[in-house]
Amino acid sequence: MAKRTTIEISPEELVELKTVSRSSKAEQRQVLRVNIILDWYEGKSFLETQTRYNVSQVAINKWRKRFMSKRLEGLLDSPRSGKPRVLSAAQKAKVIKLATSKPSDGYSNWSQRRIARETGMSQSKVHQLLSQADLKPHKIEYWCGKSSDPEFEEKMLNIVGLYMNPPENAMVISVDEKTQIQALDRTQPVLPLKAKMPKRLTTTYKRNGTVALIAALAVHNGDITAKPVEKNDAPNFLQFLKELYRKYPKKHLHVIVDNLTVHKHKIISEWVASKRRITLHFTPTYSSWLNQIEIWFNILTKDVLKGAVWKSRKQLIDQLMQYVKTYNEERAKPFKWTYTGNPLSI
């Protein structure tokens, strides 16, 4: 009986070979090659390996020789023959030109599938070219355009100055309205959050009225004053200003508002002119983002409004006011200025 040949394998190689052999995620052809080598290491004959894995003696010889010459790397697939298809510069330019232009036939945006169809390429190749050019036609971001206000710099510096270096014995207050808050109820009960399943709401709903919320942020202590109103108009805004005026009796109020017509109404300007302890500061045109109350409205939307259900307008109002109370007691503090980058050039 012929002596069976074996091969020496290092402990590290043996661990890797056995790991691949037991893996449920490795490709079957890779597992077969590894098992051929493990059989050889264990002293099994050609016939035993042929019978066990239904493989030819030629294949066994091939992978034994590959392992002998290149070790573990020899069990990997060899590079495929043939030169990969090379796209011309014109083809690449066409993909980029399409992705950065407005499509026709009623479309507003390009998809990778339609670019592929238009250029005669595969969708995967289009994806590759767009990735190389760092183009994302499926994605849209919004940004604040340049203000057309000729007094932008003056107004901006005035408001930032109030934030960074307020006058003595003054209260800097950011004020705005969040209108059309809808008290939406769903036609079916809410399905609560559970493992592997988000909270679910029916797409059908019932409107139970709307609420407008006037809110004021005391910039340097974070306190919120808020009031629900039936209508966002000048009389309601004036009433809110009077409440702020009474709330801070010994302070000069510097109230920051945007350019909404309500804020510039005649009855507002006349009342402000008659008082010595209040000054209105208007944000530049298209620059209401300078008003810090917008930050708080964003927090309110995430904490309260997103995905909520209300059976009535009153229930919505009660929750809003409860949230304001809780916020003031537990979270109110000044927003920290964190921007340290370079100015955006437009």
pLDDT tens for 258-280 read: 999 999 999 999 999 999 999 99
| Mean pLDDT (the chain, rounded) | 87
Q: Are residues 65 and 188 in the same domain?
A: no
Q: Are residues 34 and 118 in the same domain?
A: no
pLDDT of residue 204: 72
pLDDT of residue 255: 98
How many structural domains comprise the chain? 3
Q: Are residues 157 and 258 in the same domain?
A: yes
pLDDT tens for 56-73 read: 888 888 988 988 888 888
pTM of the model: 0.62
Does residue 234 form part of some domain? yes
How distant, in Å, are the alpha carbons of 164, 186, 187, 188, 202 from that of 191? 46, 11, 12, 9, 9
Q: Are residues 243 and 123 in the same domain?
A: no
pLDDT tens for 38-56 read: 888 888 888 888 888 888 8
pLDDT tens for 194-246 read: 787 777 777 777 888 899 999 999 999 999 999 999 889 999 999 999 999 99
Does residue 137 form part of some domain? no
Does residue 295 form part of some domain? yes
Does residue 147 form part of some domain? no
Q: Are residues 160 and 283 in the same domain?
A: yes
Q: Are residues 165 and 313 in the same domain?
A: yes
CATH number of the domain at 218, please: 3.30.420.10
Q: Are residues 326 and 197 in the same domain?
A: yes
Determine the structural domain holding residue 71 and report its residue range.
11-75
Q: Are residues 309 and 169 in the same domain?
A: yes
Does residue 232 form part of some domain? yes
Q: Are residues 56 and 173 in the same domain?
A: no
Q: Are residues 100 and 57 in the same domain?
A: no
Q: Are residues 64 and 161 in the same domain?
A: no
Does residue 82 form part of some domain? no
Does residue 272 form part of some domain? yes
Which of the four pLDDT bands, split at 50, 70 and 90, describes residue 136?
Answer: confident
Q: Are residues 174 and 46 in the same domain?
A: no
